[in-house]
Structure formats: structure tokens, C-alpha cells
Structure 1
Amino acid sequence: KRRVYLTKERTEKLEEFYQSHIAFSYPDQETKELLASECGITYLQVTKWLRN
């Protein structure tokens, strides 16, 4: 299985989402799937990044 790393661009996109939703930074499954697709990473990676 090929590992996909969080590049600077991917991290910036996730950070942008987080900052724009700071009041409620725990998105639903559909939003996480959309973020994963936009960033080119897995749903699990998005979930872990938001958790940390």
C-alpha cells in the first residue's frame, strides 16, 4: 500500500478549513470525505489530522 504524505499544500488546505470553522471544527463524515478528496488524502488521514 502506497503511503500518501501530508505535503505543505495539503496541510495548508486542512488548516484553512480548520480556521474558517473554528467555532465547530468537527465536520461530519460527508465534509471529511470532501476534504480528503480535495487534498488527495484518505478519510482517515483527515480525521486524524483534525483530531490532533
Structure 2
Amino acid sequence: SKRKRQILSQKNTEILEEFYQSIIRFPYPNQTSRSALAEKCGLTFNQISKWFSNRRNKDK
């Protein structure tokens, strides 16, 4: 069966996008930054990693 797609809240998207824009020259946050963002947003570490991967692909 297919997994249900989770849509992030606007607040979480804004937090992640703001962080992404602050590191735009090298958009690969380290493990500590991803863990802190996961805790701040109430998401898992893997969700944060995937979001950054998808966001980098969006810029291509």
C-alpha cells in the first residue's frame, strides 16, 4: 500500500526555508543543525534531511 504523504505546516516550511536561505552558498547542513531543526519543527531527522534534499533539487 502507498504511504500517505505528509504536508508540512506553513510555520515549519518557513523555518526550514529561512535556514536554507541562510546557508545558500553550501546548502548541506551538518548533523547538529539538522537535529536542532528536527527538534524545533517537531519532525524526524530523516524528514529534515529529505526536505533539504528536495529543496536542493528544486534549485537545479
Range of TM-score over shorter length: 0.7 to 0.9
Task: Give the TM-score normalised by structure 2.
Answer: 0.75
Moved over 6 A (4+): none
Match of 1:42 in 2: 44
Identity %: 49
**Could you say which structure has the larger radius of gyration?**
2
Task: Give the TM-score normalised by structure 1.
Answer: 0.86
Higher helix fraction (1 or 2): 1
Q: Comparing both chains, which one has the higher relative contact order based on Cα–Cα distances under 8 Å and sequence gaps of 6 or more? A: 1
Structure 1 unpaired stretches of 5+: none
Correspondence for 1:21 among 23, 33, 44: 23
Structure 2 unpaired stretches of 5+: 1-5, 55-60
